[in-house]
Chains A and B, each alone.
Chain A
Amino acid sequence: MAVDPSLAGRTFAPTEPYAVSREKILEFARATGCGYDGGAAPATFPIVVAFSAMTGLMTDPEVGISLHRVVHGEQRFSYTRPVVAGDVLTATLTVDSLRQIGGADIIGTRSEIADAEGRAVCTAFATLVHRGEQ
């Protein structure tokens, strides 16, 4: 079953606020071998928040996505500033594009990640490939 064609252009509710701790950044830095001096979190750290927004999309029963048929096709981050400990972040996901190629849905998403004051921190662009039933 293809996903709901009216999905393109839809913006989902922001994710629950995520409080970034020094310990969580350190855990991520250790897991990836990146350095952490108490300042900027590793560049791909915002995936933790973006992943939560994507999970919201993929598990929304009205959207019609089967989680086991989703492949992460593409990911890009554009930063206004690095994430630091003490940030309280939310991600607001919009479906920018929806195409069908060879029975697969190609879902282009953009998650705007903002701090507690609503100021932009980072934009995470992800392309999700939802494979059709073979």
Chain B
Amino acid sequence: MTGWSAGDALPEQTYTVTRADLVRYAGASGDFNPIHWSDRVATSVGLPGVIAHGMFTLALAARALDTWAGATGRVAEVGCKFTRPVVVPDDETGVDVLVRGTVGSVADGAVHVALEVTCAGERVLGSPRAVLRA
């Protein structure tokens, strides 16, 4: 984070998400809501199909933060609204989630980062933002 200044664009990160990733995340997180693995249940509640856990998408944003910071354990704050579902097809290809970041302010050892998380050109998280410890 040395040399970061307000307005800097951080390198875009692309993560491919497949059904297998959702199954793995369900096990790791303990969130077994069937809308994240059953098309039958997902469509019965009006979704287009199985969707990623919102917390999985936020975890990908946090992964980008670690990459940019060059280390783990630097995140002092991270959060978002879950505004649009990431629909994950039942195929080998999956879907791409893109994470972009812009440095907001650098002061008192804290770096504010405004995030943008998109899938198929649409923002899937609302006001995603983070604070990193410099």
Residues of A within 8 A of B (CB): 24, 27-28, 30-37, 39-44, 47-48, 51-52, 68, 71-79, 82, 125, 127
Contact = CB atoms under 8 A, between A and B. Distances in A.
Nearest to A40: B73
A76 B78 contact: yes
Contacts of B66: 34-35, 42-43
A32 B59 contact: yes
Given A34-B62, A37-B72, A40-B73, A77 B78 contact: yes
A34 B66 CA distance: 8
Nearest to A49: B30
Given A44-B58, A47-B55, A48-B29, A33 B79 contact: no
A69 to B, nearest CB: 9
Given A34-B62, A39-B72, A42-B72, 11 more contacts: A24-B28, A31-B28, A34-B66, A41-B72, A42-B66, A48-B29, A73-B82, A74-B80, A75-B80, A78-B76, A79-B75
Nearest to B34: A68
Interface stretch (B4-12, B19-27, B100-108): B19-27
B79 A76 contact: yes
Contacts, number: 97
Interface of B: 15, 21, 24-25, 27-31, 45, 54-56, 58-60, 62-63, 65-66, 72-73, 75-82, 126
Which one of A43, A51, A77 has the greatest number of beta carbons of chain B within 10 Å? A43
Contacts of A47: 29, 55
Contacts of A34: 59, 62-63, 66, 72
25 contacts: A27-B27, A31-B25, A31-B29, A32-B56, A34-B59, A34-B66, A34-B72, A43-B59, A43-B65, A44-B55, A47-B55, A52-B30, A74-B126, A76-B77, A76-B78, A76-B79, A77-B75, A77-B77, A77-B78, A77-B79, A78-B76, A79-B75, A82-B73, A125-B79, A127-B81
Nearest to B73: A40
Contacts of A37: 72
